[in-house]
């Protein structure tokens, strides 16, 4: 018979997340903080280590929120990673424990971002991988996307290709931590899919790869000992789409100053903005969103978030046209 203490401990272990491990959990669009409203939050901050698993698409047990974040093609998005859910402070590293490796971002065009399973084609739109440290002794001393991410309080900014066809996409942000990648199956892959709706007048449909399939356990960017000196590092997966971008490892916050001054990023209560849903959307209130005090939360034609932040209630100030959080 299981004692109460054993049951309680088991329950605790499943909810308590491992220190150092991390999840991408928030999304900014052109400097507007959407928080976790359109992020498929993974069930835990543990990595995926089997590159042949379907979990490689959007992580294990991830949620599917009702909301999508609207993004204009060509605009800048910022993906944000932290060790613990909803801890957006800059006090601890975004991903700790010398979990060095590349940061990469993919997209997949889907019929509906809230229901897509990620089995369709993916194209890479961004990477920040590796750079040689001339005075360093090993790969640990080198420049890595993860070091840039950590300098930016967990944030990495990148452009959504301007030429993309409009429609729903999954946006997949990924860190591959290589500290134990010297043996097969040792690389730790951390990914989150964000549900976005891209607007614009482009028509490009880039060539794609699939997950699983795009990575092999023996890829030189996945099976690699970074505690030895590295002459080069070959990031796994396809090359970055021509309309995408790369960031030079070692450039730290360059390109994301607006959202990631180290040590001065958003607090745990960073405000979120409402999500414009696609036509026919029924309000973003189920997406884990929050409306700031005095902002709109309802009224005729309003399709945004309807949940007020703590301490405030949604009140009809000018019925039926306008409700706000008071
Ligand atoms: C580069 O190597 C030197 C010497 O080991 C080290 O002090 C420095 O921190 C390294 N730079 C990075 C970005 O790790
Ligand atoms: Cu780890």
Residue pair 129/147 in contact (Cβ under 8 Å)? The answer is no
Q: Give the nearest ligand 1 atom to 137 CA.
A: 5
Does the Cβ of 130 fall within 6 Å of ligand 1? no
Does the Cβ of 134 fall within 6 Å of ligand 1? no
Is the previous residue joined to 320 through a cis bond, with omega within 30 degrees of 0?
Answer: yes
For the segment 54-97, what is each residue's pLDDT rounded down to a tens digit? 999 999 999 899 899 999 999 999 999 999 988 888 888 999 99
Residue 252 pLDDT grade (very low, low, confident, very high; cuts 50, 70, 90)? confident
Question: What are the C-alpha distances in Å from 147 to residues 164, 245, 267?
Answer: 30, 18, 21
Q: What is the mean pLDDT of the chain?
A: 83
Q: Is 188 among the domain residues? A: yes
Q: Are residues 57 and 82 in the same domain?
A: yes
Q: From atom 14 of ligand 1, which residue's Cα is the shortest distance away?
A: 141
Q: Where are the beta strands (DSSP E) in 112-233?
A: 123-128, 130-131, 143-144, 155-159, 167-177, 188-199
Does the Cβ of 144 fall within 6 Å of ligand 1? no
For the segment 163-172, what is each residue's pLDDT rounded down to a tens digit? 999 999 999 9
Q: Are residues 110 and 244 in the same domain?
A: yes
Q: Are residues 281 and 242 in the same domain?
A: no
Q: From atom 2 of ligand 1, which residue's Cα is the shortest distance away?
A: 136
Q: Given ligand 1 and candidates 98, 101, 128, 133, which is best to mutate, with the most ligand atoms within 8 Å of its CB?
A: 133
The whole-number pLDDT of residue 309 equals 72
Q: Are residues 26 and 81 in the same domain?
A: yes
Q: Are residues 119 and 92 in the same domain?
A: yes
Residue pair 130/178 in contact (Cβ under 8 Å)? The answer is no
Domain count within the chain: 2
Residue 210 pLDDT grade (very low, low, confident, very high; cuts 50, 70, 90)? very high
Q: Is 161 among the domain residues? A: yes
The range of the structural domain enclosing residue 305 comes to 276-326
For the segment 102-130, what is each residue's pLDDT rounded down to a tens digit? 999 999 999 999 999 999 999 999 999 99
CATH number of the domain encompassing residue 158: 2.70.50.70
Which residues sit with Cβ closer than 5 angstroms to ligand 2, an ion? Answer: 188
Q: Are residues 252 and 141 in the same domain?
A: yes
Q: Are residues 140 and 51 in the same domain?
A: yes
Q: Which ligand is nearest to the CA of 187?
A: 2
The whole-number pLDDT of residue 277 equals 36
CA of 230 to the centre of ligand 2 (A): 21
Q: Are residues 309 and 166 in the same domain?
A: no
Task: Give the tokens for residue 312.
Answer: 């405030």
Q: Is 91 among the domain residues? A: yes
Q: Are residues 108 and 252 in the same domain?
A: yes
Residue 259 pLDDT grade (very low, low, confident, very high; cuts 50, 70, 90)? low
Q: Are residues 190 and 53 in the same domain?
A: yes
Q: Are residues 147 and 283 in the same domain?
A: no
Domain end point (choices 200, 227, 259) = 259
pLDDT at 295 over 80: no
> Residue 191's closest CA among 31, 51, 14?
51
Q: Is 103 among the domain residues? A: yes
The whole-number pLDDT of residue 17 equals 67
> Residue 279's closest CA among 166, 202, 171?
166
Q: Are residues 297 and 164 in the same domain?
A: no
Q: From atom 9 of ligand 1, which residue's Cα is the shortest distance away?
A: 141
- pLDDT above 90 covers a percentage of the chain that reads 63
The whole-number pLDDT of residue 5 equals 39
Q: What is the mean pLDDT of residues 179-192?
A: 97
Which segments of the chain does DSSP mark as H helices, in order? 4-15, 55-58, 145-151
Tally of CB atoms within 10 A around 76: 18
Question: What are the C-alpha distances in Å from 274 to residues 8, 48, 81, 87, 277?
Answer: 38, 31, 21, 21, 9
> What pTM value is reported for the model?
0.78
Give the whole-angstrom CA distance, residue 285 versus residue 291.
9
């Amino acid at each position: 018979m299981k004692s109460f203490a054993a049951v309680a401990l088991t329950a605790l272990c499943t909810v308590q997340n491992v220190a150092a491990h991390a999840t991408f959990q928030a999304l900014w669009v052109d400097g507007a903080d959407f928080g976790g409203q359109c992020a498929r939050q993974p069930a835990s901050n543990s990595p995926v280590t089997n590159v042949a698993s379907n979990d490689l698409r959007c992580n294990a047990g991830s949620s599917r929120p009702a909301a999508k974040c609207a993004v204009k093609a060509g605009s800048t998005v910022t993906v944000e990673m932290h060790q613990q859910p909803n801890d957006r402070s800059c006090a601890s590293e975004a991903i700790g424990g010398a979990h060095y490796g590349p940061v990469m971002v993919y997209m997949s065009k889907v019929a509906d971002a809230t229901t897509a399973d990620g089995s369709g084609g993916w194209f890479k739109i961004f990477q920040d991988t590796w750079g040689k440290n001339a005075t360093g002794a090993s790969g640990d001393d080198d420049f890595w996307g993860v070091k840039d991410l950590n300098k930016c309080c967990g944030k990495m900014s990148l452009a959504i290709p301007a030429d993309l066809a409009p429609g729903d996409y999954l946006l997949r942000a990924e860190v591959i931590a290589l500290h134990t990648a010297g043996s097969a199956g040792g690389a730790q892959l951390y990914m989150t899919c964000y549900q976005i709706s891209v607007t614009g007048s482009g028509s490009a449909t880039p060539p794609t790869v699939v997950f699983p399939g795009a990575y092999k356990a023996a890829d030189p960017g996945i099976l690699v000992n970074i505690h030895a000196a590295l002459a080069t590092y070959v990031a796994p997966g396809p090359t970055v789409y021509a309309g995408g971008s790369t960031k030079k490892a070692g450039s730290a916050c360059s390109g994301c100053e607006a959202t990631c001054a180290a040590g001065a990023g958003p607090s745990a209560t960073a405000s979120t903005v409402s999500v414009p849903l696609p036509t026919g959307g029924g309000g973003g209130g189920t997406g884990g969103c929050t409306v700031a005090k005095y902002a709109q939360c309802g009224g005729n034609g309003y399709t945004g978030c309807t949940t007020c932040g703590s301490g405030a209630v949604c009140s009809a100030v000018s019925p039926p046209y306008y409700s706000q959080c008071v």
